[in-house]
């Protein structure tokens, strides 16, 4: 959200302030549209919304803490039998990985 907020036109900012509106997304680091884009690449192996289960596991609806700890471990540690997730996770900040974990945890699995 911070980033999106920066890019808002001055006019829109003014309009928001005049209207006394607090941006609805201020409690989260990333807007829903931003999270959709960030999560886009996950679907290519985990299915749309991370719901496809097969030899690549589904990630939708799993506890955020579990997903976050897995993602952070892929990035920072050496997880046995990892083939690809270490290479992907290193492309994201810890904040992004944690937000992605929450994003998929919030999705109903089926």
44, 100 Cβ separation under 8 angstroms? no
Q: Is 4 in the site for another protein (CB under 8 A)?
A: yes
Q: How far is the CB of 41 from another protein (least distance, A)?
A: 4
One residue of 29, 47, 64, 73 binding another protein per CB under 8 A: 47
Q: Residue 99 burial (CB < 10 Å; 0-12/13-18/19+)?
A: buried
Interior/surface letters 44-83, b for 16+ CB within 10 angstroms, e for the rest:
eebbebbbeeeeeebbbbbebeebbebbbebbeeeeeeee
Q: Is 10 in the site for another protein (CB under 8 A)?
A: no
Q: Is 34 in the site for another protein (CB under 8 A)?
A: yes
Q: How far is the CB of 94 from another protein (least distance, A)?
A: 13
* Region class of 72: left (phi > 0), else alpha (psi between -120 and 50), else beta: alpha
One residue of 60, 67, 97, 99 binding another protein per CB under 8 A: 60
Q: Is 72 in the site for another protein (CB under 8 A)?
A: no
The residues of the shown chain that bind another protein, judged by CB under 8 A, are 3-4, 7-9, 11-12, 15-16, 19, 21, 23-25, 31-38, 40-41, 43-49, 51-52, 54-56, 60, 81, 83-84, 87-92, 106-108
């Amino acid at each position: 959200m911070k980033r999106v907020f920066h890019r808002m036109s001055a006019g829109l900012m003014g309009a928001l302030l005049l209207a006394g509106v607090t941006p609805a997304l201020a409690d989260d680091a990333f807007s829903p549209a931003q999270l959709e884009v960030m999560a886009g690449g996950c679907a290519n192996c985990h299915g749309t919304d991370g719901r496809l289960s097969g030899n690549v596991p589904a990630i939708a609806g799993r506890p955020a803490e579990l997903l976050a700890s897995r993602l952070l471990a892929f990035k920072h540690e050496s997880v046995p039998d990892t083939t690809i997730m270490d290479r992907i996770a290193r492309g994201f900040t810890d904040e992004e990985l944690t937000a992605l974990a929450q994003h998929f945890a919030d999705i109903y699995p089926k």
